[in-house]
Amino acid sequence: MNPLELVRAQPGPGFTVTLDGRDIEALPGQTVAAALWTAGVTSWRSTRGAGRPRGVFCGIGVCFDCLVTVNDRPNQRACLVPVRPGDTIRTQEGTGHDD
Amino acid sequence: MTDRPHLAVIGAGPAGLAASLAAAARGIRVTLIDSGSAAGGQFYRGPAPGLGARRPQALHHQWHTWDRLARGLAGHVRAGRIEHLTDHHVWCVERQSGRFAVHALLGPEQERPATVHAEAVLLATGGYEKVLPFPGWTLPGVVTAGGAQAMLKGSLVVPGRTAVVAGTGPLLLPVATGLAAAGVDVAALVESADPNAFWRATRDPNPLPPRTRDPKAFLRRTRALAAQPGKVAEGAQYAAQLVRHRVKVMARHTLVEAHGEARLEAVTIAALDSDGRARPGTERRIACDTLAVGHGMLPHTDLAESLGCRIDGLNVHVDEEQRTDVPGVWAAGETTGIGGSALSLAEGHIAGRSVAARLAGAEPDPREWAAVAKSRTRMREFFAALDTVYAPPAHWTEQVTDDTVVCRCEEVTGGEIRRAVGELGAGDVRTVKLLTRAGMGWCQGRMCEPAVAGLAGCAQTSARRLLARPVPLGVLAAAGEDPDEPRGPDDPEGD
């Protein structure tokens, strides 16, 4: 059983986005974080101080741990932002403003 | 229609929905403002429409109640009595000469502003999860229990294959059973409290547990538990599901450490002794790629604080009608104290009826909602009793090593906080913050505040955040120049 089967989901057509240039499949309605989790990715940011990996923590927009660069805009909360066809997602280093 | 009195409800979870429906049904024009793209809040969160769930109730809570609320909302929206603004992230509510301006940011980008004006405001802003730190809690793969649930319910995703659900509190039960139903191997449910004390108390009102020092308090608690047969049944259902999914439940155990380099690989747990300390020699390592962890809930009170509402402890203070002490501002649901969806519905309903009467210039008659008020009292007692059962281990701070990151945003460690307290004399959260930057990062201390307070040996107090979320400077600068809101010379806050 997976979650899609559990609720008998019939998602709209899937689409492709990129994470650091690599193709990732996403489903309509999912957040950026959900698409990354589905692709087996659980970290997409390194911290400003120790450069440690981070991903989703609170899942509801409170903690800001899941910050990511989407279409060249850094510091987007991956757990809130809906994924859209053609999105260019990049892992975020530090504040996201250095590159 | 526009001359009808106007209420702005902030938050479309159980409390906000109940209040909106109650007020709209009594002639009030309601604007329901919510950050979600659909109504429901966290509790009634459902799969995104694009995912085409044909059986959403499989992951949903209280489906029939939700269905009734959703139909009610749709009916009022169609009739023009409720305007439902989705994707509106409220960052401040401003008092303006007896009226209110609710300032929000639009959409996921949260850069474009929108303002709603109303004669009354209802704060139904809900709560968020409390997580206490331990070594490794910043590793990817470690998520809050509620976060795992939100991702599962909303986007139908799970973070890995093998999970441990740990911490304390009733939320761990639906999270463990939900993950298991969605195909995750839940290796253990690790609860630091002893929920058996809870069940024993509901069955047998007489015997005192060995460590209870106040028999009267115990009896009060027992009565509160026994008065909620629905809650007992709910707990029994979760217990049956845990058995069915072969989830091992380990009560009186605590997290010691999460292991891994780039990602979570295992956790170490240990049994607690009768003083609430990890008992040496009982450590056990469990391989897992997911840890869903939570230690209870905290109310969102930022908007109430910026309005100047009285806060009792961590909760917005309300009277019998759910009014705050600021005229024109009501509050209902978790923001007035954590108590679950049924209590939120009761509070929201009472608030909506009170608003309807007061905005029509009438004194409400509490006898009209006596039954709801009675159930509100019972449920508040029940959750007060629950709080005494589910508490983090008494000595949880001993699991926070000097190397453990406590403030996740600013990467402030336990050692730095202990130095601020021990060597520099900090005795409260604010002083620790000024000395270490703990709580000065993106989340503004929402994640680390309980831990910093615990390490500083003081009680957590309300945070007094002026703005409820980050706001672009341009929006902030323009907020005082709202063209829709001509300010008169009699407006004391007009400049």
> B336 φ, ψ to 5°?
-95, 5
Are the beta carbons of B52 and A9 separated by less than 8 Å? yes
Q: How confident is the model at residue B430 (pLDDT cuts 50, 70, 90)?
A: very high
In DSSP terms, A92 is beta-bridged to A45
pLDDT at B231 > cutoff 80:
no
CB atoms within 10 A of CB B319: 10
> Nearest to residue B430, comparing CAs of B441, B440, B418?
B440
> Nearest to residue A35, comparing CAs of A25, A46, A20, A23?
A25
Q: How confident is the model at residue B486 (pLDDT cuts 50, 70, 90)?
A: very low
What is the number of alpha carbons within 13 Å of residue B395 lying toward its C-beta? 15
ipTM above 0.95? yes
Confidence at residue B428, expressed as pLDDT on a 0 to 100 scale: 92
- Among the partner-chain residues B48, B53, B262, the one whose CB lies closest to the CB of A8 is B53
On whether the CB atoms of residues B452 and B482 are closer than 8 A, the answer is no
Are the beta carbons of A30 and B109 separated by less than 8 Å? no
Q: Whole-angstrom Cα distance, residue B255 to residue B85?
A: 41
Specify burial of residue B249 (Cβ count, 10 A radius: 0-12, 13-18, 19+): middle
**What own/partner pairs with CB < 8 Å and gap ≥ 24 does B278-282 have?**
B278/B254, B278/B393, B278/B395, B278/B398, B278/B399
User: B14: which residues sit within 8 A by CB, 6+ positions away?
Assistant: B41, B43, B44, B69, B333, B341, B342, B344, B345, B348
pLDDT at B495 > cutoff 60:
no
Q: Whole-angstrom Cα distance, residue B85 to residue B37?
A: 9
| CA-based nearest distance A50→chain B, Å | 8
Confidence at residue B219, expressed as pLDDT on a 0 to 100 scale: 64
Q: CB-based contact (8 Å) between A9 and chain B? A: yes
Confidence at residue B220, expressed as pLDDT on a 0 to 100 scale: 67
Strands B82-85 and A22-26: unpaired
Strands B185-191 and B162-167: parallel
Q: Whole-angstrom Cα distance, residue B304 to residue B313?
A: 13
Confidence at residue B388, expressed as pLDDT on a 0 to 100 scale: 85
Q: What number of C-beta contacts closer than 8 Å exist between A and B?
A: 167
Confidence at residue B218, expressed as pLDDT on a 0 to 100 scale: 59
Confidence at residue B215, expressed as pLDDT on a 0 to 100 scale: 56
Phi-psi region of B309 (alpha: psi -120 to 50; beta: other; left: phi over 0): beta
- Kindly state the percentage of chain B with pLDDT values over 70: 91
pLDDT at B286 > cutoff 50:
yes
Closest residue in chain A to residue B158, using alpha carbons only: A37
pLDDT at B488 > cutoff 50:
no
User: In chain A, positions 27-56, which contact chain B (CB-CB < 8 Å)?
Assistant: 27-31, 33-34, 37-38, 42-43, 47-50, 52-56
| CA-based nearest distance B144→chain A, Å | 5
Q: Whole-angstrom Cα distance, residue B404 to residue B406?
A: 6
Specify burial of residue B466 (Cβ count, 10 A radius: 0-12, 13-18, 19+): exposed
pLDDT tens profile B287-328:
999 999 999 999 999 999 999 999 999 999 999 999 999 999
**Tokens 């005192």 label which residue?**
B208
At B413 the three-state DSSP class reads strand
pLDDT at B212 > cutoff 50:
no
pLDDT at B455 > cutoff 90:
yes
Q: Tell me, what amino acid is at B149?
A: Q
Are the beta carbons of A49 and B441 separated by less than 8 Å? no
Chain B residues with CB under 8 Å of A68 CB are none
Provide the whole-model pTM: 0.92
At B326 the three-state DSSP class reads coil
DSSP B325: S
pLDDT at B487 > cutoff 90:
no
On whether the CB atoms of residues A37 and A56 are closer than 8 A, the answer is yes
Quick one: CA dihedral B342, B344, B346, B349, positive or negative? negative
- Among the partner-chain residues B143, B146, B411, the one whose CB lies closest to the CB of A47 is B411
> B138 φ, ψ to 5°?
-95, 0
Among A56-70, B106-120, B204-218, B299-313, the least confident range? B204-218
Give the residue ranges of DSSP H helices in B331-457: 340-359, 370-389, 414-422, 429-436, 449-456
